[in-house]
Every structure is written in C-alpha cells, then in structure tokens.
Amino acid sequence: MAFDPTGPYNELASLPPTADLQTKPILKECISASRALAELKGAGDRIPNQRILINSIPLQEGRLSSEIENIVTTDDKLFKAAVSKDAPVDPQTKEVLRYRTALKRGYDVLAKRPLSTNLLIGVCSALLDTPVEIRKIPGTRISNPATGEVLYTPPVGEPLIRDKLANLEEFIHIDNGLDPLIRMAVIHYQFEAIHPFHDGNGRTGRILNILYLVQEGLLRLPVLYLSRYIIMHKTEYYQLLRAVTEDKAWEDWILYMLAAIEETARWTCQKVLAIRSLLDSTVEFCREKLRGNVYSKELVELIFFQPYCKIAYVVQAGIAERKTASAYLRELEKAGVLESAKVGRERIYVNPKLLDLLKG
C-alpha cells in the first residue's frame, strides 16, 4: 500500500530497524565523523574555564535550531536580551533564549539520571515555557510552510505514542553493537516520526541528539552546532526523513546525519580553538596594558563567559565591589578590549572580537 502522508502513521515500526545499518559507506563515514568529534572533545577540554563554552555556543546553536522552525532572531538581539532585563525583547528572541535554558536543563538532569521520556518532556516544556504533554488528540501534521502540503502525519493515540517512546528509550540504553553515531541518526528519525508533542518536536529532537552524545561520553559539554548543517541543508533534511518512512531509505539518512556530525564537529572545533587563542592573547594584552591593580585573569575570563558584560556580573563574580567593578570595565574599554552601549538604563560592555568569532 502506498504511503499516505495525510493519514496517521500508526504503522511506524519499532526499533531497531530491520535494514542493514552498517553498510560500507556508513562505516566509512562513521570513522571520520567519530574522529572529528573526538577532536572537538579534546579541544573543549583544553579551555581553562569550561563555562565560557557552555554559555555562548548553545546560544548560537539555539538560534540556528530555531531558525529551522522559522523562528528568527539576530545575534545582537539575543545577547542583549540575555543580559538586560529592560531591553525590548520580541517573542522570537525569547523563544530562542529558552532553547539554551532547555538544553541546560536537559544537560543538568542528565548528570543525575539517564535519558528518558520524562527528561524530554521537561526539555520541551522548558522550550515552550509551558508544561507539555504527550499528544492525546489527533490533528498534528507536518506540512510545507510555503505550500501547506501535508508531508507527514504522526501516529495518533496516547498509548501507542507512549509505547513507541518506551521502545525508543530502550534503544537508547541497550547496547546492540551499533556505533553510537549511527544510533544517534536512528534515534533522531524515530523521535521525529513519533512526534510526541503538539509542537517543539524538531527542537527537542535536536537537543536529544546533543544530550545523547554527552550520555555516550562522546562530548563532555553540550557544544556542537549540528543545526548549522541542518539549516544549510534543510530541504534534504525534510526529504530524507520522509524517505525513511516511505522507502526505508536508512542509508541515505544515516549518511546525512554522519556528515552533519563530521562537518559541524570540525567547524565547532575551529571555533573552540579560536576562542581559546583569543582568550590567551587577551590575557596577555591586558596583563601588559592594564595597570596592575586592574588586571586579573578572572576579569578577562568573565568577559569571555559573558560577551555582553555588565557591572553586576563583575560584582557577582566576586571580583570587585560595584564602584571598582565599574572602573575596571571602563579601563577595559579604554584599552580597546570592550565597547560599551546603553541598553535601557544599563551600560552593557561588549567583547566585540569574541562576538565576531561566535557569529561567523
């Protein structure tokens, strides 16, 4: 029977797939993707203050992952909204900020408990800023935003959806001899095909990818710009998901995801190394240029952790009292390391070189 995208796909097969997932091309691509990911992990380990990465990179990943869902904001709005309570914030920017919150929430929970359906419900709730539930009623469809054409209708019926999620959970945890990267690709298709929520499935699924890599020990921090690849190859992303449903085209899908991992691991690794060397040169520069009582390593690290910095952050970090903190930031501006601007009533100090790096 031909696949009907407008009818609920209750025939969705449980995992593992029966197809051969270890074809020669897959295994070959898997090796290079694993190597690139290992390099990224190593580069992350060499950053002295790990918080630097966890604050900035997930914000960018959030912007891209949301853009896949046509939720668009700019870096500037995003960072401003992240630091300033009185900056005007549009709903799209808020939504993107919540992506980082959701990813952090998932990452923190993962440190205590393994990946589970409940964890994903928590992630999606943080993302949408409202408690979400597994879909109880029919009506959810994936359609082409331009033409309105229905591309896929996920399974209907809460017991069935829970059943499929339990099967997915089992697949996530039981070692079946498949390489974790191949498994990640399978998990991503299956989660999207189940589409357990009314909304937020794409983003929750992409957060799940990163958390899964962390769980498997392939990444220590949730830093990988997977969405960057997906957004540059979005038509293919939709086509290949659909082709798994329609034609069991697992090989093409897995190759796509492996290429996404490899390319974005390489790209993120370059970013991490560039951040590292900018940090080193800024430390060096400030040590020479700033008067001895202003310079401290903690202060320089802070403006990397918070590329949009303000006096309160310096105080909170225990570096100085308010008045001195303000003088420190002005010194950094005079030295050309920071640039300042007024946002609402607050003065925000921007680290422009770091921002350029993150944006690129």
- The residue ranges that bind ligand ADP (CB under 6 A) are 68-69, 142, 151-152, 192-193, 199-203, 205, 238, 241-242, 245
**Per-residue mark of binding to Mg ion, 182-201 (x: CB under 5 A):** -----------------x--
Distance CA 329, CA 117 (A): 45
How is residue 16 written in tokens?
Answer: 């593992």
- Cβ closest to ligand ADP, residue 58 vs residue 200: 200
Quickly count: other Cβ atoms within 10 Å of residue 1's Cβ. Answer: 4
Binding site partner of 201, from ligand ADP, Mg ion, none, Cβ cut-off 5-8 A by kind: ligand ADP
User: In the bound complex, what is the minimum distance in angstroms from residue 152's beta carbon to ligand ADP?
Assistant: 4
- Cβ closest to ligand ADP, residue 39 vs residue 252: 252
- Please list the residues that pair with 308 across neighbouring strands: 350
- Cβ closest to Mg ion, residue 55 vs residue 101: 101
Comparing CA positions, the residue from 96, 57, 354 lying closest to residue 200 is 96
Comparing CA positions, the residue from 88, 105, 94, 55 lying closest to residue 71 is 94
User: In the bound complex, what is the minimum distance in angstroms from residue 338's beta carbon to Mg ion?
Assistant: 37
- Cβ closest to Mg ion, residue 8 vs residue 202: 202
Binding site partner of 335, from ligand ADP, Mg ion, none, Cβ cut-off 5-8 A by kind: none
User: In the bound complex, what is the minimum distance in angstroms from residue 201's beta carbon to Mg ion?
Assistant: 7
User: In the bound complex, what is the minimum distance in angstroms from residue 159's beta carbon to ligand ADP?
Assistant: 20
Amino acid, single-letter form, for residue 180? P
Of 34-93, which residues contact Mg ion (CB under 5 A)?
69
Crossing angle (nearest 10°) for helices 180-194 and 158-173: 170
User: In the bound complex, what is the minimum distance in angstroms from residue 23's beta carbon to ligand ADP?
Assistant: 22
Binding site partner of 151, from Mg ion, ligand ADP, none, Cβ cut-off 5-8 A by kind: ligand ADP
User: In the bound complex, what is the minimum distance in angstroms from residue 68's beta carbon to Mg ion?
Assistant: 9
- Cβ closest to Mg ion, residue 199 vs residue 339: 199
Contacts of 255 (CB under 8 A, 6+ apart): 25, 26, 29
User: In the bound complex, what is the minimum distance in angstroms from residue 16's beta carbon to ligand ADP?
Assistant: 18
Binding site partner of 261, from ligand ADP, Mg ion, none, Cβ cut-off 5-8 A by kind: none
- Cβ closest to ligand ADP, residue 1 vs residue 111: 1
Comparing CA positions, the residue from 221, 265, 227, 229 lying closest to residue 52 is 221
Binding site partner of 242, from ligand ADP, Mg ion, none, Cβ cut-off 5-8 A by kind: ligand ADP
- Cβ closest to Mg ion, residue 12 vs residue 142: 142
Quickly count: other Cβ atoms within 10 Å of residue 324's Cβ. Answer: 15
Contacts of 232 (CB under 8 A, 6+ apart): none
- Please list the residues that pair with 143 across neighbouring strands: 150
Distance CA 205, CA 192 (A): 7
Contacts of 196 (CB under 8 A, 6+ apart): 117, 120, 134, 135, 161, 165
Comparing CA positions, the residue from 219, 109, 208, 130 lying closest to residue 165 is 208
List interacting residues with Mg ion (CB under 5 A): 69, 199
